[in-house]
Amino acid sequence: MIGLPANARVWLAAGHTDMRKGFDGLAAQVQGTLAANPFGGHVFVFRGRRGDIVKLLWFDGQGLLLAKCLERERFVWPSATQGRVVLTAAQLSMLLEGIDWRMPARTHTPSLAA
């Protein structure tokens, strides 16, 4: 996982995106559709129509575009068709691993100490 600054927010672009777009095309979509600044240090995540590819747009002072494709699964995405959803860095990590970030199941529930 990339090390995000503490003040960086993660925005998921709802719906699907044309995965042929590169850095400039996704930056234009961030400005136009999401009404945000693509050069503000925040992470913007886009998913393709089939759901097996995501692209992350993050401007770290020089620019950065990451892409990931899942072999057998689909990335879990919100059901909204437009707008944006805020994620935590932990939820982004789960998303990139193909884990359902919306309702992760806890493996252990602490009990009273004594």
Contact 38, 44 (CB under 8 A): yes
User: How high is the mean pLDDT in each 10-residue block of the chain (114 residues)?
Assistant: 77 90 92 91 92 91 87 82 81 85 72 72
For the beta carbon of residue 8, count every other beta carbon within 10 angstroms: 15
pLDDT for the residue 36: 92
pLDDT number for residue 107: 67
